[in-house]
Structure 1
């Protein structure tokens, strides 16, 4: 039987690491996606906080599937040195907890910080994306250079409101940067919120670059996030194709069932468990185990 490695954005459970790890372990996971602890993002961890997380991981026998960094979730007009420095801080965390993958984004358009964020906002207008393309590619190349030197892999998430929101622009980004240290983190819900059918339109374009599966679903009608299989994200079709194409990597739960915001989400232990059970039902349908 094919086995995928179960993980999850642990800060959606609780701000306290020991509670995060306990709930994930109870759900059958031995990995976490580390984004924040004690309400502090990984990019801002002190040495004391990092030591505390590392001790908690060791005590519970947990490992880190990826670092959920905020790198690239700034306006494209921001100096590239700022994001390079932030990536280096995140890489120090990754090395400390022995994580190979770091999630990144491909920049907001100018003026985004003064705008409003909507779950069903749709993709960036083509002219907006075209106007920022060169600056985005230069910045992503600079980040990839750091990843190559530091022996980590950057996972680009197809987030709303960034350059790489649609499958066509994600493909352009990955192929134009041309680094084996820049790969795709797949998020079906984010595609739905950009008006994209994930399996029908995105999977054929991106499957050869797909390195990491983030698990959440959403509805086209209002953009609301749902447990896997309860929205329009074509999770069953995508997961079946991944199985058939030999995928054997991480499946990271990011439920967003209590709160979905621009810089993350929250579910709490109960809703996180509901999302995990929904995902396991889909896995059972396709004959894939998760451990």
Structure 2
């Protein structure tokens, strides 16, 4: 059965170049027919106006590229901001999802002040995630919570806490092995996969070294990528595998790789999927 499994390759276009035409060309050279949209022309996806969204849609449509997800920055703000702040921004991410023909919107579960204990923000986080899920339900989009470093949901247990507490079909999980490694989850697959698999909807692909936190191509770090991909294959996963290489420059809003390093990341993933008999396209 495993040789029949097929996953859909995608990637964060703005890690390649600011220009969506270059983004699409590099992804297509790697065999992808989808793109994850975080920014275009240096403008974040929630800040693109209607004319820019239409121009981006045309660029992608002309190249037969689908959009796997809107990689929004929603929830990458301090939890002390009012609930409405991110609900309003989510409205803009939903508009982008509609314009670009995607049902998925990535988001996060809030930062906190430096000396603020994580447990103390739980209730505020849940109120905000519930409000965001309500908006997603009304718009019929699916929110994908990414286990980003230093947000409330950065460990498997707290990711589970969020999806179970909110309890919405419109709030699911994106899995990022590298981020788990970087927050001290020793063995992401062993420690987190079983807990989170029932809620796992989307795969973001990068790896990291435990000793330094340095991001690596898939399979070259301590993120147990091979075990994770093999288990997904055996579970019947048929969704997206989205490259987010972060290989040359990382900042608070994302990372950058450039075409060459992005290609290296794509080939590393394909080596793993070839090894386990998963078709990537």
TM-score, normalised with respect to structure 2: 0.97
Residue of structure 2 aligned with 1:240, choices 230, 236, 242: 230
Asked if 1:61 is matched to 2:50, the reply is no
Residue of structure 2 aligned with 1:191, choices 176, 180, 200: 180
Residue of structure 1 aligned with 2:198, choices 193, 205, 208: 208
Extract structure 1 runs of 4+ deviating beyond 4 A.
none
> What do residues 116-141 of structure 1 show as CA deviations (whole Å, max 9, x unaligned)?
xxxxxxxxxxx712100000000000
* Counterpart Cα distance in 2 of 1:110 and 1:70: 18
1:90-239 aligned at under 5 Å gives the runs 90-111=93-114, 128-196=117-185, 197-239=187-229
* Counterpart Cα distance in 2 of 1:286 and 1:20: 28
Deviation at 1:204, TM superposition (A): 1.0
* Structure-2 residue corresponding to 1:19: 22
Partner of 1:213: helix, strand, or coil? strand
Asked if 1:289 is matched to 2:279, the reply is yes
> What do residues 69-122 of structure 1 show as CA deviations (whole Å, max 9, x unaligned)?
00000000001111000000110010011100000000001358xxxxxxxxxx
Deviation at 1:49, TM superposition (A): 1.1
Stretches of structure 1 that go unaligned for 5 or more consecutive residues are 113-126
Partner of 2:255: helix, strand, or coil? strand
* Counterpart Cα distance in 1 of 2:232 and 2:26: 27
* Counterpart Cα distance in 1 of 2:79 and 2:100: 30
> What do residues 17-66 of structure 1 show as CA deviations (whole Å, max 9, x unaligned)?
10000110111000000000011000100122111101101110101000
* Counterpart Cα distance in 2 of 1:71 and 1:189: 20
* Structure-2 residue corresponding to 1:269: 259
* Structure-2 residue corresponding to 1:260: 250
* Structure-2 residue corresponding to 1:117: none
Asked if 1:82 is matched to 2:85, the reply is yes
Residues matched between the structures, number: 277
* 1:2/1:287 contact within 8 Å kept: yes
* Counterpart Cα distance in 1 of 2:62 and 2:161: 43
* 1:75/1:111 contact within 8 Å kept: no
Q: CA RMSD in A?
A: 0.9
Stretches of structure 2 that go unaligned for 5 or more consecutive residues are none
* Counterpart Cα distance in 1 of 2:75 and 2:111: 8
* Counterpart Cα distance in 2 of 1:242 and 1:195: 23
